[in-house]
Structure 1
């Protein structure tokens, strides 16, 4: 039977901020962490593995409260692409919040942030693909959690850029 879960999450938002400000918010590890809710151990560099820990976002108290139970939970990303002012991507283990589970045995999904300028602002398209490769036992839960998570993240980056 075909899995009901789509292989990709896609979220879009038009941000009312200059392109350089949006770019820095997604491509600078420190700024990314403030709105996303993570602290990384270094800067984003293509091909490099970065470790991070979940830290509640600084821009929305309600979402910060939802992140609080996961505070300190470690995870890692591998930076895929950095094309200035256009595209940033990384690989990670989706919904990797169980502290006693070894996610290193699983494939990663690809998260891409694509930017384009429009009359109304900067369009940010966030996609996460590769769910079809996640083990079936975790696939639906990871997809559902991340689908909601990316919806929240579009609101967080919008709030961050409005500061």
Structure 2
């Protein structure tokens, strides 16, 4: 069996507050799932439209204590294992997520709902971080819909937000991964930088207002900015994809990234919440 997907993040709340957010069903319904039922140490379940294969609860509690939560989660007929581990770090919490049965190939080709696990948890943890910090949450991915649209308000001038979206160095910083951007129509938008061998294409650009990038089979991502009382309203839309196989994986990752984009522009001394993301070495 391959090593699990491992994600570490710093949350601006003490361990007891984070544990409560992870185990209180009312709080889970705010940041994680449409429906949740928890009765420790016997039951831990969540489901609904914001959960992959969320037509019914598919979790089975394995272990719960003051610092660890572990449950089995059956997806596409395979029982996976999810574990949250909490550790105090200063006044906050270092959260470690371990998720088994994640295959990057499935994330790229959409052959299994398990391919969404990395970005599903990235978006969920971003919303957990926002929830415990008392910040606005990001839109959750609706796995029953093909309407992929998200809106966030950033407390920063439009020109600053635009630069952070289109400047390679700044975008690489808040996204947490190298991005090469040629901000003109026909230019490259290269995840991993210009030397990776593959790049999406900028297909529409209105300086200071709109950027559209064509990802081929995943469709076109469009970021549109508008000034709003000294703040910036950002609307992100995914279009032009095969509606029989919506690109939930990249969409969830793009929405998750908006959390750091917002913090990057709003905080004078910005530091990413993400400590590390370790992908399995083998499928």
TM-score (norm 2): 0.39
Which of 180, 184, 189 is 1:45 aligned to? Answer: 184
**Does the Cα contact within 8 Å between 1:92 and 1:108 map onto a contact in 2?**
yes
The range that moved more, 147-156 or 23-32, is: 147-156
Aligned length: 124
Q: Secondary structure at the match of 1:132?
A: coil
Which of 239, 243, 259 is 1:155 aligned to? Answer: 259
- Indicate how the Cα distance of structure 1 residues 42 and 158 shifts in structure 2: closer, same or farther if over 3 A, else same: closer
Q: Does 1:30 align with 2:169?
A: yes
**Does the Cα contact within 8 Å between 1:52 and 1:74 map onto a contact in 2?**
no
Match of 1:91 in 2: 214
- Indicate how the Cα distance of structure 1 residues 122 and 46 shifts in structure 2: closer, same or farther if over 3 A, else same: same
The range that moved more, 5-14 or 73-82, is: 73-82
- The CA RMSD over aligned residues, in Å, is 2.7
Q: Distance in 1 between matches of 2:188 and 2:230?
A: 35
**Does the Cα contact within 8 Å between 1:8 and 1:130 map onto a contact in 2?**
no
Task: Report the CA distance between 1:37 and its aligned residue.
Answer: 3.1
Q: Distance in 2 between matches of 1:42 and 1:121?
A: 24
Match of 1:82 in 2: 205
Q: Does 1:131 align with 2:241?
A: yes
Match of 2:158 in 1: 19
Structure 1 residue runs of 4 or more that deviate by more than 6 Å after TM superposition: none
Q: Note the residue ranges of structure 1 that are not aligned, 5 or more in a row.
A: 55-71, 94-106
- Indicate how the Cα distance of structure 1 residues 122 and 29 shifts in structure 2: closer, same or farther if over 3 A, else same: same
Q: Note the residue ranges of structure 2 that are not aligned, 5 or more in a row.
A: 1-142, 271-283
Match of 1:57 in 2: none
Q: Distance in 2 between matches of 1:42 and 1:157?
A: 16
Structure possessing the higher relative contact order (Cα contacts under 8 Å, 6 or more residues apart):
1
Q: Deviations over 1:115-142 (max 9, x none)?
A: 0011261100011112226xx5xx25x3
Task: Report the CA distance between 1:76 and its aligned residue.
Answer: 1.9
